[in-house]
């Protein structure tokens, strides 16, 4: 089993739709979680950190479920500019700070 | 402007010819890291550094070396590059290890 798993997609959704991505992780000791977005082989850019209580930033909501070991990202009112690959990142704390990236979920928002 | 700078951005070279990809950050970050990105495999961590003179292996360290003599610089060294090291490489840094990372623009490396 991969340490971090994401559905690769692609998710094709119309503008204005709500879309949700999940990401599962295998290390129950993981402490830090993030969502990044990446456009067409450019550098990943932080979208948001994921906190235990869940957090929201505008149209984006991130949730953490430690019991089931997954994190989620919800995008409301999708825009064309949201088209990108979304990467989930989990930090495995085993005395050092090693990051594991999911392979990403592709989102295409259609006009 | 706060940034992570990698050089070169593109490089085509031949098997066995030593090369160095430089990475520099101007944010006084303690944590720095190198990743490679390959189709279908996502980003994989090569090496990371918690601070000056402290480095550790990531998931795919074979064939690479790093050094952290100064806080701002974290070069990636390929002593004897091979074609399977053809990839897109990213350097990243964060204030501390548990915080989100800022990425450089990437280095596209082709080894023939």
Structure confidence by residue, pLDDT tens digits, A14-44: 999 999 999 999 988 888 899 999 998 799 9
| Chain B neighbors of A46, CB-CB under 8 A | 100-102
- The answer to whether A103 contacts chain B (CB < 8 Å) is yes
All residues at 6 or more sequence positions from B14 whose CB lies less than 8 Å from its CB, including other chains: B81, B111, B112
What six digits make up the tokens of A78? 């999708």
Is A98–B41 a contact, with Cβ atoms under 8 angstroms apart? no
Least reliable range by pLDDT among A31-40, A85-94, B54-63, B64-73:
A85-94
- The predicted structure's pLDDT at residue A84: 97
Bridging pattern class, strands B10-13 and B65-66: unpaired
Question: Would you say A100 and A6 are in contact if contact means Cβ atoms under 8 Å apart?
Answer: no
Distance (Å, whole) CA B68 – CA B52 = 5
Closest to B98 (Cβ–Cβ): which among A31, A43, A87?
Answer: A31
Q: Which two tokens stand for residue A29?
A: 């000791």
Angle among Cα A56, A74, A9 to the nearest 5 degrees reads 150
Nearest CA in chain A to B99: A32
Is A43 in Cβ contact with B103 (below 8 Å)?
Answer: yes
Q: pLDDT-based confidence at A97, cuts 50/70/90?
A: confident
Angstroms from A35 CA to nearest CA on chain B: 9
| Angstroms from B12 CA to nearest CA on chain A | 18
Question: Token pair of A87, please?
Answer: 């990467």
Determine which of A96, A99, A103, A106 to mutate to test the interface with B (most B C-beta atoms within 10 Å). Answer: A99
**In B, which residues are within 8 Å of A100 by CB distance?**
45, 59
pLDDT of residue A93: 67
Give the residue among B58, B77, B68, B64 at the shortest CA–CA distance from B29: B68
Q: Is B79 on the interface with A (CB under 8 A)?
A: no
What is the phi/psi pair of residue B106, to 5°? 100, 155
Beta strand spans in chain A (E): 4-6, 11-14, 19-25, 32-38, 45-50, 55-57, 60-65, 70-75, 84-93, 97-101, 105-110
Instruction: Determine contact, residues A56/A11, Cβ cutoff 8 Å.
Output: no
CB contacts < 8 A, A to B, total 58
Tell me the average pLDDT across A53-75.
94
What SS3 class is residue A61? Answer: strand
The size of chain B, in residues, is 112
């Amino acid at each position: 089993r991969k340490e971090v798993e994401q559905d690769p997609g692609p998710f094709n959704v119309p503008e204005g739709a709500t879309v949700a991505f999940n990401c599962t992780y295998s290390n129950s000791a993981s402490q830090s979680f993030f969502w990044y977005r990446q456009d067409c082989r450019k550098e990943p850019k932080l979208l948001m950190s994921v906190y235990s209580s869940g957090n929201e930033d505008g149209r984006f909501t991130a949730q953490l479920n430690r019991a089931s070991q997954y994190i989620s990202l919800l995008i409301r009112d999708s825009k064309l500019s949201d088209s990108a690959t979304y990467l989930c990142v989990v930090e495995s704390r085993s005395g050092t700070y090693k990051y594991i990236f999911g392979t990403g979920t592709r989102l295409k928002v259609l006009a | 402007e706060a940034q992570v700078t990698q050089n070169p951005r593109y490089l085509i070279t031949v098997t066995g010819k030593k090369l160095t990809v430089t990475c520099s950050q101007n944010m006084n970050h303690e944590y720095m890291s190198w990743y490679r990105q390959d189709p279908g495999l996502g980003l994989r961590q090569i090496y990371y550094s918690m601070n000056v003179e402290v480095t550790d292996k990531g998931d795919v360290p074979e064939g690479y070396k790093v050094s952290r003599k100064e806080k701002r610089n974290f070069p990636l060294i390929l002593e004897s590059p091979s074609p399977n090291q053809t990839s897109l490489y990213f350097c990243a840094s964060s204030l501390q290890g548990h915080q989100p990372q800022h990425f450089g623009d990437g280095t596209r490396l082709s080894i023939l």
